[in-house]
Amino acid sequence: MALQLGDIAPDFTQDSTDGEIHFHDWARDGWVVLFSHPKDFTPVCTTELGEVARLKPEFEKRNVKAIGLSVDSLASHHDWKGDIAETQGSVLNFPLLADEDRKVSELYGMIHPNANDTLTVRSVFVIDPNKKVRLTLTYPASTGRNFDELLRVIDSLQLTDSHKVATPVNWKTGGDVIIVPAVSNEEAAALYPDGWDEKRPYLRIVRQPGNG
């Protein structure tokens, strides 16, 4: 059965370009983005890994670690690193799991037989500090992922974990948010003394907490 939101992300031990990874120990008390690649030395994957390396400071601001996966060998991964650096201008600066035995791929349901019965699809898992799966995305092999969108979702998850709000369509950090329906007007008045814009009783727009 596929992993669902709220499930505990399965633990594993696997080789990587940064040495052996004991996943839960490696994650510690931070957030994790785990994402898979169909194969080494493929064009779309090369661009993705370069982009995640470039975005490392943005992930670190959010207490997020990135970890990639491909079903090719560790030796192949190390060879690929040179191509990534040369073509993308970013050196691989996070672990890339060498899942040759498909152990992690099978645990996380990254192989979709009707798409390809041996290669992983472009799966993404955002995992919180409690090791719970908070987001899953699956892209076709032909389509590169939007990592700015992943950062946006992580911003939303971290904000809504800390405050009784939800984020509306196309929200970005600094934008207005929605007071969740479970919060009464009396409680909202205490939380948001400057008030809010009530479009409907269930749709109350308020400035993002902590944003002035």
The secondary structure of 143-210, three-state, reads CCCCHHHHHHHHHHHHHHHHCCEECCCCCCCCCCEEECCCCCHHHHHHHCCCCCEEEECCEEEECCCC
Query: Which has the minimum average pLDDT: 12-16, 104-108, 122-126, 139-143?
Result: 139-143
* One domain for residues 24 and 57: yes
In a domain, 151, yes or no: no
Residue 123 host element (H or E): strand 122-127
- Tens of pLDDT, residue by residue over 24-82, are 999 999 999 999 988 899 999 999 999 999 999 999 999 999 999 999 999 999 999 99
Concerning whether 71 is annotated as a catalytic residue, the answer is no
Tell me, what's the pLDDT at 51? 98
* One domain for residues 136 and 173: no
Q: How many distinct structural domains can be found in the chain?
A: 2
Tell me, what's the pLDDT at 120? 53
163 within 8 A of 150, measured Cβ to Cβ: no
In a domain, 193, yes or no: yes
In a domain, 158, yes or no: no
Q: Could you list the beta-strand ranges (E) of 18-121.
A: 21-22, 31-37, 64-70, 96-98
3-class SS at 109? Answer: coil
* One domain for residues 68 and 110: yes
CATH number at residue 75: 3.40.30.10
Q: Which of 3, 45, 126, 127 is catalytic?
A: 45
* One domain for residues 179 and 93: no
**CA dihedral over 78, 84, 85, 87, signed as positive or negative:** positive
In a domain, 68, yes or no: yes
* One domain for residues 117 and 50: yes
* One domain for residues 97 and 170: no
* One domain for residues 119 and 19: yes
* One domain for residues 81 and 183: no
| 193 CA to centre of own chain | 34
The domain in which residue 135 lies consists of 13-145
pLDDT band at residue 121 under the 50/70/90 scheme: low
CA atoms within 13 A on the CB side of 20: 3
Strands 96-98 vs 133-139: parallel, antiparallel or unpaired: unpaired
In a domain, 54, yes or no: yes
* One domain for residues 126 and 42: yes
* One domain for residues 124 and 186: no
Burial class (CB in 10 A: 0-12, 13-18, 19+), 125: buried
* One domain for residues 22 and 59: yes
Q: Is the pLDDT of residue 119 over 70?
A: no
